[in-house]
Amino acid sequence: MTWLAFQLVVLIAITISTSMSNVSGEAFPALNIKKHRLSFEDFELYTPPLSQLAEALSEGLRENYAEVSVKVVDCPDLTASPFNLAAKGLSGYTAHVQVGSLNYLFPMSNYKRVYDLIDIGRNALPNARIFSVYGAGSGPFMVKTQFCEGVYNLKVNEDKSIVNQCRLGYIRLENGYDLKMEKFPANETRMAFLGNMFVSEGKSGKVVQIKAKKRIGGEASFITACRKAVYEAFDWKVVGLGGVFVVKNGTTMQHIGLNFPLKPVKDPNTWKRLFNMPAPLTSVGTFITDDMGLNMQVEHFHSFSNGKWGGHYEYDTNADTIEYEAYFNVAQRAILIDRPN
């Protein structure tokens, strides 16, 4: 059987299945990092003082936004609105994690590349009794029997109970590209193909607060503007950050991937649907100043809201009205799991 034929069989099996318990359970188990001996690469990152990061971000962002405030503050309670995260803070031991690869999604999808957010967090911070996982990537496709975006927002407590605020976004084509954004099922912690995450102990502590309003520069992506500012300040030293930002006003372009391709995708940009989404939106994810030659995603944030809107953050679409508020912390290590040879 050819690989294309195998994928067709898998898709047909998912579509015609009448037992979601079978589809979401035994058919697509998560790979266990240690049991399945997935590659695990661990690199120390440069961790400048937060005060230096604040200076770098302030200087760089002033070239792109009319109103900018960057300072080191005590982290607000991120479980509260408008953030709605699973843990209060972003401190303690921290890691920038990439799991899988876009190569597992394109040109054809590898349905075996399924992972578990709890397993990822435990391996990233093996000594942490409590940890949180925030980030962006593919969601658990078996839940909706189609491709979906994942917004990772999870806390694991010392007693192994979880706070699961993860969301998935997908498109129903039968209703004319109808966008759906829903919470994960309560005990669902799987993701697939590729994910980028900021893993921390979720403790309260100092973070970098950014407030930026009214874009005057040519960089329409807030995250790209932040990443470039940090890169220019620290040059060859690789710095990774993660956390949350809120689109408080204005509109932003976000994408949702279409369903699994039935033929090889040569250009991934053709395999997504763009939506111009109104504020407010909350986004979680990571960015890093250099991929270290390891084919890492240098920036990756996914958004959610209390309504239907959410997806992969791209850029703002109204320079005059855009307004952001962000809280970031620095990652101590970069970890790559199951990177293709």
112-153 confidence digits (pLDDT tens): 999 999 999 999 999 999 999 999 999 999 999 899 999 999
Structure confidence at residue 150 (pLDDT): 98
Q: What's the whole-model pTM score?
A: 0.92
Strands 333-337, 94-100: pairing kind: parallel
Encoded tokens for 74:
């005590």
The Cα–Cα gap between 89 and 216 comes to 31
Kindly indicate the confidence band of residue 174, based on its pLDDT and cuts at 50, 70 and 90: confident
Here the CATH number for the domain that contains residue 230 is: 3.30.1330.80
Averaged pLDDT for residues 305-322? 96
Report CA torsion sign: 292, 270, 177, 317. Answer: positive
Averaged pLDDT for residues 218-247? 97
| Domain of residue 290, residue span | 3-337
Structure confidence at residue 15 (pLDDT): 44
The Cα–Cα gap between 23 and 29 comes to 10
Structure confidence at residue 1 (pLDDT): 44
Closest CA to 75 of 234, 212, 200, 167: 200
Averaged pLDDT for residues 325-331? 98
Give 74-83 pLDDT, tens digit per residue: 999 999 999 9
58 pLDDT higher than 60: yes
Structure confidence at residue 20 (pLDDT): 36
Q: How many structural domains does the chain have?
A: 1
4 pLDDT higher than 90: no
**In this predicted model, which residue has the larger pLDDT, 6 or 251?**
251
Closest CA to 146 of 337, 15, 341, 288: 15
- H or E, element range at 113: none
5 pLDDT higher than 80: no
Structure confidence at residue 130 (pLDDT): 98
Read off the DSSP letter of residue 121.
H
19 pLDDT higher than 80: no
The Cα–Cα gap between 188 and 117 comes to 9
Q: Is there a contact between 184 and 67 (Cβ–Cβ < 8 Å)?
A: no
Structure confidence at residue 26 (pLDDT): 60
Phi-psi region of 147 (alpha: psi -120 to 50; beta: other; left: phi over 0): beta
- H or E, element range at 247: strand 240-249
